[in-house]
Structure 1
């Protein structure tokens, strides 16, 4: 499963609507060009709907944006104003666009970094939190692939690698010693079984609250 599909499985399980992707109902004809990442299965829109993001959806979209950033995916979400680089930003005020392309359109060096940081720093309130009921897949030392990369990303956001004394984890899809130590540090901090296996409890505590 690709990194994007792993991510979409996580956000879909949390209740976000996934659209404009071949695996989630297909792509709307005419909404994107034939060469669009959407048709290639490399992009998706989250909570696409009527203009204007409903207030109750905003916290979970911000959570999804932080998670996408942790996983190294590209994000376009412009509820505040049009982003100066992304040509299609005006069309992404009411939903979140995520893709695995090579250009971080919404986080381009020197362009709107402050706005991007503000979007990612907005925290849901306790009453707006949504419980994650998803096990992306058990991964352990020796495993490789996109599930491992997502694990490394969210461990970094939680500061688990630093807490374990191994520093920021490389997003290399390889569950090695450093990832193992970081996961065990996270498990210890959250009082769950310290077994070095990213199972249901580990994913729940990692994904329910992705800190800014």
Structure 2
């Protein structure tokens, strides 16, 4: 009896302890907040829609028939073109007009100068063209030649103009001939029948240019 009571007491104590522990364990579990997690769920794409063939209804195009036009006769046109006839007195066409001939006046004949004596050179004409006056350009080119000139001599016996009549073939020699003739030429002037000095034209003897070694 005593053993049975002790057993009951022990069993009650054990049950009480177990019950207390269970309450504490549950309290501890319920005091902690619950943690949740979002789990992604993959949604499969919808299946492609099936393309239904479109039925095309043929459109009936109405055919319009035009009425045939009647054949019209081609009109015939008679053109009667009559050339008008000109009546009246014809107008005479004048002939060529003859212009009076104007006689050509005769050319004036120059009156010859009646000179009793022509111009004469003073001194030796060759001295007018010294060797040291040979143009350097002509010397370098080895040019030689003969020049004939026509001079205009004033009433004072001075050369006023020079013209090349026959060229040496070298421009430098021709220019030197006229330059020296105008600078160095001196003449006794020409005189008329009354003995008065007059201007005249005269031609010099040929001037020979030759290189002397």
TM-score by length of 1: 0.19
More helix by share: 1
Larger Rg: 2
Provide TM-score, normalisation by structure 2. 0.19
